Amino acid sequence: MIPSLDLLLALAFGNLGLMLLAGRNPTAGLLSMILYALQGWVLVMLMPALAEGAASGLAFQVFGWSLSWELNGLGWFFAIITVGAAFFSAWFAAGAWGVQGTRSPWAFHVTLAANVAAMLLLLASRDLLTLFIGWELVTWAGYAMMIQSGGPATRAAYKYLIYGVAGGLAVLAAVVLIQVQAGGLGFAAVAAWMPGISTGMLWALMLLLGVGFGIKMAFLPFHRWQAEAYGESPGPAAAFLGAISSRMGLFGLLILLVHFIGLARLDELLLPLIGLDARILWMWLSALTIIIPTFIALKQNDARMLLAWHGIGQGGYMLLGVLVGSELGVAGGLLHVFNYATYQAVLFLVMGAVVYRTGTAHLDRLGGLITRMPLSYVAMLFAIIGLAGLPPMNGFVSKWMVYKALLDEGLPLLFVAAVIGTLGTILSVFKLIHNVFLGQLRVEHEQIREVPFSMWGPMIALSLIVFITGYMPGLALDLVMVAQTSLGFAALDYHLGGFVTDTGNLNMLAVVSVLLLGMGIGAGIFLLGGNKSKRVHQLDNYAGGHFLTTEVRYHYSHHFYAGLLRLIGPWYITLIKRLEGGIAALTDTLAAGSDGLYRTAYTPILMLAATVLGLALVL
Amino acid sequence: MNPEILIALPLLAAFLLPAARRIDASVGIWWGPLVVLANLVIAAMAWWKVQLIGPQSIALGGFAAPLGIELRADHLGLSAAVLLNLAVLLLWPRETPDKARVSTILLVLTGAGCGLAMSADLFNLYVFFELVAVATYGLAAANGKGEALIASLRYLILGALGSALALLGIALVYAKTGTLNLTELGGMSEALSGPAGIGALVLMVVGFGVKAELFPLNNWVPEVYAHTESRVSALMAGIISKLGILVLLRLIAEVFGGSPGLEFLLWVGVLGVVTGELAAYGAKDMRRVLAYSSIGQMGLVAVALALGGETGFIAALILMLNHLLVKPALFLIADAWPGSLKALAGKGRARPLGAVLFVLLALSLIGVPPLPGFWGKYLLLDAIFTNVTEGAGLLVGLILAATVVEAAYFFRIAARLFGSGEAAEESKIPGLPAVAALFVIAFLALSVQTGRVGDYLKEVVHGLQPQELRMAQSDFPDPAASVNGKGERL
Amino acid sequence: MNELLSIGNLLYGGAAGLIVIGLFAVVARRHLIRVLLGVAVIEAGVNLMLVAAGFRPGAAAPIFDPQAISGPMVDPIPQALVLTAIVIGVAVLALGLTLAIRIHRQYGTLDTVALTRIVNAPAGSPESRAMMQRGGGGHES
Amino acid sequence: MRQFASLLFLFGFAFFLSVLVGGLPFGAAPMQVGQAIVEQNIEATGAANAVTGVLLAFRGMDTLGELTILFVAATAAGMVVERRKHGVSRDSVAGFILLAGAELMFPFLLILGAYVILHGHLTPGGGFQGGAILAAAFFVPFLANPGRAFQGHAMAFVEAFAGATFILLGIFSIFREGDFMAPMFLGTGEFGQLVSAGSLPLLYLALGLKVGAELGSLVAEIAAAPGSDDPLIEEPQAAKDL
C-alpha cells in the first residue's frame, strides 16, 4: 500500500461502506478503530508530500468543470485532528457503550464514518466547487449524527439544519459569483483574481462566505444552533462534533480571509462610517464570540450544554490568533485547534460516561462521583485545566501564545477581552467539576461503578495527550507548522518545550517541571507528614449541629453564580433569540398566506391579473 | 422507422380500443400498455437514429416546412418522447374503475405528448397541447371521486381559459408575420420585437404555463394531486408538467430568445418558487407538500428558461430531469404512508428503506451536492449571475431563501418519519413499490453519470439552436444573420 | 366617422369586446356553468380575431372556380385554423359541462366557493361529509 | 372588493388588448404562407376549396389532433358520467309534431350531411360541417324522445372505423409516397370533379363520420347523465347581490 490521498479516501469511504453493512456487529467499533488508525497512518506518511500537495487520482468531469482533490498542509493538519477525534470516539463507542448504551450503535458508527469521509473530502478540496461539495456533505453528515438519539436532539438538529442550509446556500451563491466573475474556481486562480476586484464585490463575497463559514463555526451572531445540537447528541458523537466539526468553519474562514483576501487587504477594507477596518472587525467579532457564549455557558445547568457553549467560545481564540498575523499568533490560533479538540473530546466523553452510569447530565442531580468514578474524575480534571487555559495543560500554551501575540502587536483591548473570556471559562469549569464529581454523592448513585475500560481508556489516553502536549508543546507545534507554512506564514521558532521570540520565550519543560516538583514536595509532606484522615460515609457527619440525612443537601449547586448572572443580564441573547423567532413567525405567516393563495376559489382572477401585470411589466 | 409513427400508433390504437373492447372485454386491460411498449421501442429506435445521423426535419405529408407542418426529430423531442413513453408505461394507473377508457385516454396522451415534443409549428403545438390537456382533465377525474371531479373541472376551466389566451397569442403572431413555422418565425424577430410579439409571448406563457405549473396559473395543482391516484399524480407532476415547459423551451430557443417578454416568465418563475415552497411549508398533508414542491421546482425551471443561453437551457433541462425522476418516486413512496403529516411519526422506522430514499430524493430537490438537483441549481445561479445585470442579488436571494424553506419542510417530515411513534406494530407495511424502485435506480444512475448526461444535454441544446446561441440580455440578432443561420439548419 | 367604423375596427374591436365580455363572466361569476360559457365566448372572440387576421379588402373566398376570373383571395390558413379551434373549443366545453352536471348531481351546487371548500377540506372532515349528504345518495346508484 | 379588482383587471386587459391589436396590420395580411398555398393548392392537392387543402393536406396533423380531441373528450365524458337506465328519464317526451318532425327530418339530414362531406374539397363545407349535420340527424330524434335507446354499439364501431381510416390512410401513404399523411398518392385527378384531389374526399368522409359519431356520443353522454331536480342555472345568493 503506497500512502496517497486516494488510499486515504478509499479507507474513509470503505469504512463508511463497511459500517453500513456491518455496523450492527459487536466488532464494528473495533473494525472502525483499526480503519481510523490506518487513516491516521496514511496521513502521517503523507506528510513529506504535502509541500507540493498530495493530489488524488480521483477526478470527475461535470458540465465542463473538472472536480479533483488535493491535500495541502492546512487540510492535512485538520485531517489529522479529524481522524484522531474519530479514533477516540469510536474507541469509546466500541465496547460497552456501543453495545448497550445507545439506541443504535449502527447509526453512530455509520454517521461517524460518514462525517470523517465528508470532512476529508472537504479538507482535500483544491477548488471552490469541491470545497462546496465537501461543505454540504459535512453539513448533512453532521445532521445525521445529531438526530440519531431522537427526542429533543431532533429539534436541535433541525435548527442546526436550517442554519446549515442557509449558510451552505450563502457559500453556494458566493462560489457561483466567483466562478462567473473570475472564470475559474481553483484556489490559486481565485487568490490571483481577488486583488483585482472592487471593494463592493469584496465585501459581498466576504459577507456571503463569512456568513456561510461562520455559521458552521457558530460565530457570533450565528451561534444559537450549536450548543443544543452538540449537547443533545450522544456522548461520543458530541465528543467528535465538539472536537472538530465546527472547525470546518474555521478552515473555510482561513481560506477566505488569509488565502484569498489576505490580511493586508483586510486592513485596507474600511467600514463606511466607523472607519474600522475589516480585520479589526473580525477580531472583535472573535472576541465577542469568546466572551458571550462563555458567559452563557455559566448559566447552563446541563453539563453537556455547558460544554457545548464553551465550544463556541473557544473557536474565537483560534480565529483571533490567526488574525493577529504574527508567527506567534498564527501558531497560537492553530495550536488551539489541536489542543481544544483534545480536551473537548475528553470532556464530552467523560460526560458520556457519567450519563451512561447515572442517566443524567443535569448538574443539579449529580455530585460526589469522585469516589465512584475516579478515573473519569482524573480525566475531567486534566481536561478542565486545559479548557481553562492553566498550566501544565496544553490549553495554557496556545492561549498564552495568543495573549502574547495580541500584546506584542499592540492590541491590549483585545487581550483584555480574551482574558475576560478565560475568567468566565475558569468559573464555569469549576461549576462543572464541582457539581459532577465533588461534594455530596446522591443516594441513588451510591451503587454505581467506574465505566469499563473501553470507555475510560480513550478518556485517559486523551487526557494524557492533553498533559503531554502541554508539557512538550513542540510535539503539537510540529503539526501546526505544516499548516502555518501552508497558509503562507513564516514558521515559528520553536523547540520541544516551547517557543522563542524576540520579546520573550516560553519553555514548558521548565514550567511544568517546577510545577510538578512543587506538587511533589507538597504531596510528600502530606503523605509522609502523617496523613491522619479517616474515611467515613458522607452522612456520618454533622453540619450546623445536626446530623445529616439524605434529604438534606449540604452540597451547594442550585443557582450557581446567581449573583454574577444577575449582573451580566440576559439582554444579548434575547435580541438574537427574538430575531430568530421573528423570522420563524414571518415564515409561518407567509406560508399560510401562500397556502391560502393556492386555495382561493377565484383562480381565473389570478390568471387575469398575472396577464395584465405581465403585459404592464414588459410593454 | 419514421418518428411520425410515434404519434400515429397510439392514436390509432386509441381509436380502435373502444370497438375492440366490445369484442373482448379483456382487451381494455392489456391493449394500452402493450401499444405504449411498442411505441417506446419505436421511440428508442428513432432516438438512436438521431444519435447516429443527427437531427432530422420531417415535412408532414410531404409539404415542405412553411407550407405544411414540420416535425423535429431532434435530441430534445425524441428524448422527451422516450421518457414520456417510459413514464406512462411505468405509471399506468391501477385503481381506476373504468380501465378501458383510462387506457384510451393514456394512449391519446402518449401520442399527443410525442407530437408535442416534436412539433415545430405554432398552431400544431397548440393542438397537441390541447390534446394533452383534455386527456389530463380526463385522467384527473378518472377515479370518479367527487373531489377529483371538482378538481378536474376547476383545472379544466383554468386550462381552457389559458388555452384561449394562448390561442390569442398565436393569432397575434400569425396576424403579424403570416406564418406559423418556428424556423421561419425565428428569422422574423424584427416583426416580433414590437408590442404584438411581446404580448403574444406573455399570452402564450400564460396559456402553456397552466400545464407547466407556473405561478399563478397553478391553483389546480394541489387540488388535483391531492385527489387523484398517486400514480396519476406522479405522471402529471413527473412528465406532463414538463411537456408544457418543453413547448416554452422550443418557443424561447427558436423564436423568442432575448424578447423583453421573457422578464415576465422570469418573475412568474421566481414567484412560483417562493410561493410554492412557502405553501409547502404551511401544508399539512403529504400530497399537498409534494404538489407545492412541484410548483416550486417548476418555478426554478421557468427562471432558468427565462434566462436562456446555453447555461440557462441546460440548467432548465437538468432541473426538469431531476424533478422528472424524483417526484414520481416521492409520490409513490409516500403512498404507503398516511396522508396527514401528523400521522407520519415513526413511519420511517417501520419502513426504513422507503424513508431513507425519501430523504435522499428530497436532498436532490433541495440541491445538495453531488446529487443532480445541485447541478441544476448551480447552473441556474451561474445563468443568473451571467445574464442578469441588475437585481441578480435579489433574484438569488429569493431563490436561496426559498430553498432554505424547502429544506425546512422536507426535514420536518424526515424528523417526523424517524421520530418516535407507534412504529413497531406496523412492520407489515409493504416495502418499496417496484415502480418507485425503478425511478430511484434511474435517479441514482443520473447522479452517478451527471457528467455524461450534462454532455448530452449540451448537445440537446445545441441541436435546438443550430445557429449561434442567443444570449438572454442581448438584442435580437440582425435578420440577415439568422437567415444565413437558417440555411444551415438541420 | 368612417375611420372609426372601418371594417377592421369592427372586426378587431368586436373580437376584443367578445374576449373582454367572456373574461368578465369568467372572473366575476361564481356559477361554474356561467364561467364555462364565458370561456366559450372568449374562444369565439379569439376565433374572430384569427379569421380577421386573414382578411384582405376585396379578396374572394379561397375557393377556386374555373369559370371565374382569378383575383386575390383571402388567406385560407386562418380559416382552417379556426375550424380546428372551434372543434377543440366544443370538445372542451362538452367535457366541462359533463363534469359540471355530474358535480351538481353529487353536491347540489356549482358555486365555485362552495366547491373550493369541498375540494380543499381534509379528507373525512365534517365539511366534506356534510356536502356529500346534501347531494343525496345519488352517486351510489 | 373582488368585483372591483376583477373590473380593474378587465379594464387593464381591455387596454392592453387594444394596444396589441392596434399594432396589427389589418387588411394587409402578410400571407407569408397563405399566398404560397393559394398559388400552389390546386397543383399540390387538386382541391378547389383551398381551406380543405390546408385542413387535410397541408395541415393534416392538426385535423387528426382535433378529431382526437373530440374523441378523447367524449371518452372522458363517458368515464365521468354515471349511466342511467334507458327509459327512466325524468325529461318529458316531446309532443307528436316534434316527434314526427324529428323522424321525418332524419333521412334529409343524413343526405345533407353526406353531401356536405363529400363535396368538401370542392365547395364550402366538409367533414366538420357535414359531421355536425350527421350527428344532428341522429340526436334530433333522440332529443325529441330522450328515453329512447342510443345506438352505442354501432356508434362505437363507426367511431373506431372512421378514426382508424384517417390514420391508416396516413400510414398507407408512407408506403406510397414515403411521407406520413401525404394525401396525394391517389393522384390529384381532374380538377373540379367529385372524385379528385387524391385521398382528400376519403379523408373527409372518415372525418365526417368520426365527427358525427363523436358529437353524437358526446350529446348522448350528457343526455345519459341523470337529470337533477334543481335547475342548473342558478346563481348563488351571494353573487346576486352584486
Q: What is the pLDDT of residue D82?
A: 66
Other C-beta atoms within 10 Å of D143: how many?
14
The CA dihedral of B473, B479, B483, B488, to the nearest 10 degrees, is -20
Q: Does B68 touch chain D (CB under 8 A)?
A: yes
Q: Does A615 touch chain C (CB under 8 A)?
A: no
Q: Report which residue type is found at B270.
A: V
Q: What is the pLDDT of residue A223?
A: 79
At B167, is the pLDDT very low, low, confident or very high (cuts 50, 70, 90)? Answer: very high
Size of interface A-D (CB pairs under 8 A): 25
Q: Does D47 touch chain B (CB under 8 A)?
A: no
**For the segment A141-177, what is each residue's pLDDT rounded down to a tens digit?**
988 888 877 777 788 888 888 888 999 999 999 999 8
d(CA C85, CA C53): 15
Pick among B23, B31, B57, B60 to test the D interface (most D CBs inside 10 A): B60
d(CA A596, CA B340): 18
d(CA A561, CA A434): 13
Q: Closest Cα of chain A to C44: distance in Å?
A: 18
**For the segment A317-334, what is each residue's pLDDT rounded down to a tens digit?**
999 999 888 888 999 999
Per-domain residue ranges for chain B? 1-120, 121-472
Give all domains of chain C, ordered by start, each with its CATH number. 7-63+71-140 (1.10.287.3510)
Q: Does D10 touch chain A (CB under 8 A)?
A: yes
Calculate what percentage of chain A has a pLDDT beyond 70: 96
Q: Which residue has the higher pLDDT, D189 or B136?
A: B136
CB atoms B223 and C43 under 8 Å: no
CB atoms A600 and C30 under 8 Å: no
Rg (CA), chain C: 22
Q: What is the pLDDT of residue C68?
A: 63
Please name the residues between 174 and 203 in chain B that touch chain A, using a CB distance below 8 Å: 195, 198-199, 202-203
d(CA A339, CA B165): 69
At D232, is the pLDDT very low, low, confident or very high (cuts 50, 70, 90)? Answer: very low
Cα angle B122, B124, B129 (rounded to 5 degrees) comes to: 95
Q: What is the pLDDT of residue C136?
A: 39
**For the segment B323-381, what is each residue's pLDDT rounded down to a tens digit?**
999 999 998 888 878 777 777 777 777 777 888 888 889 999 998 888 888 999 999 99
At A201, is the pLDDT very low, low, confident or very high (cuts 50, 70, 90)? Answer: confident
CB atoms C119 and B171 under 8 Å: no
Q: Does A601 touch chain C (CB under 8 A)?
A: yes
Residue of A93, A107, A3, A109 whose CA lies nearest to A56: A3
Closest chain D residue to the Cα of A604, Cα to Cα: D6
Q: What is the pLDDT of residue D24?
A: 75
Provide the grid cell at A103: 439506541
DSSP string, B73-113: ESHHHHHHHHHHHHHHHHT---S-S-HHHHHHHHHHHHHHH
Q: What is the pLDDT of residue B487?
A: 32
Residue of B366, B353, B345 whose CA lies nearest to B418: B345
Q: In sequence order, what are the residues at sequence separation of 6 or more whose Cβ sits closer than 8 angstroms to the Cβ of residue B205?
A: A614, B214, B248, B261, B264, B265, B268
Residue of A402, A248, A386, A251 whose CA lies nearest to A320: A402
d(CA C115, CA C131): 9
Please name the residues between 413 and 432 in chain B that touch chain A, using a CB distance below 8 Å: 415, 418-420
φ, ψ dihedrals at B68, nearest 5°: -100, -165
Q: What is the pLDDT of residue C8?
A: 72
Q: Does D80 touch chain B (CB under 8 A)?
A: yes
* Average pLDDT value for residue range C115-135: 61
Q: Closest Cα of chain B to D84: distance in Å?
A: 16
Q: What is the pLDDT of residue A82?
A: 94
Q: What is the pLDDT of residue B483?
A: 33
* Average pLDDT value for residue range B40-64: 85
Q: In sequence order, what are the residues at sequence separation of 6 or more whose Cβ sits closer than 8 angstroms to the Cβ of residue D89?
A: D146, D147, D227
pLDDT > 90? residue B85: yes
Q: Helix B146-177 to helix C32-53 angle, to the nearest 10 degrees? A: 20
Q: Does D12 touch chain A (CB under 8 A)?
A: yes
The answer to whether residues A479 and A338 touch, using CB atoms and an 8 Å cutoff, is yes
pLDDT > 50? residue B482: no
* Average pLDDT value for residue range A185-204: 85
Give chain D's count of helices (H) and strands (E).
9, 0
Which chains reach chain A with 3 or more Cβ–Cβ distances below 8 angstroms? B, C, D
- B365 alpha-carbon distance from chain centroid: 15
CB atoms B206 and A610 under 8 Å: yes
The answer to whether residues B405 and B424 touch, using CB atoms and an 8 Å cutoff, is no
Q: Helix A247-254 to helix A327-358 angle, to the nearest 10 degrees? A: 160
d(CA B319, CA D45): 45
Q: What is the pLDDT of residue A2?
A: 74
- C140 alpha-carbon distance from chain centroid: 32
CB atoms B124 and D78 under 8 Å: no
Sheet of A504-507: strand order equals A494-495, A498-501, A504-507
* Average pLDDT value for residue range B47-71: 82
Q: What is the pLDDT of residue A199?
A: 84
**For the segment D82-141, what is each residue's pLDDT rounded down to a tens digit?**
655 444 455 566 678 888 888 888 889 889 988 888 887 777 777 888 888 888 887 787
b/e string for B249-268 if b means 16 or more Cβ within 10 A? bbbbbbbbbbbbbbbbbbbb
The CA dihedral of A216, A222, A223, A226, to the nearest 10 degrees, is -50
The answer to whether residues B472 and B258 touch, using CB atoms and an 8 Å cutoff, is yes
Cα angle A594, A599, A602 (rounded to 5 degrees) comes to: 110
CA atoms within 13 A on the CB side of A339: 41
The answer to whether residues A242 and A308 touch, using CB atoms and an 8 Å cutoff, is yes
Q: What is the pLDDT of residue B420?
A: 67
H or E element at residue B352: helix B352-366
Choose the weakest-confidence range: A464-468, A538-542, B35-39, B79-83: A538-542
**For the segment A524-579, what is each residue's pLDDT rounded down to a tens digit?**
888 887 767 777 777 777 777 777 777 766 666 677 777 777 776 665 566 778 88
H or E element at residue A61: strand A54-62
Which chains reach chain D with 3 or more Cβ–Cβ distances below 8 angstroms? A, B, C
pLDDT > 60? residue C2: no
* Average pLDDT value for residue range A222-244: 83
Q: Does B175 touch chain C (CB under 8 A)?
A: yes
pLDDT > 50? residue A24: yes
**For the segment A299-313, what is each residue's pLDDT rounded down to a tens digit?**
888 888 888 888 888
Tell how strand A54-62 and strand A498-501 pair up. Answer: unpaired
CB atoms B67 and D68 under 8 Å: no
The answer to whether residues D54 and D37 touch, using CB atoms and an 8 Å cutoff, is yes
Alpha carbon distances (Å) from C98 to A357, A571, C92, D75: 71, 65, 10, 11
Q: What is the pLDDT of residue D84?
A: 53
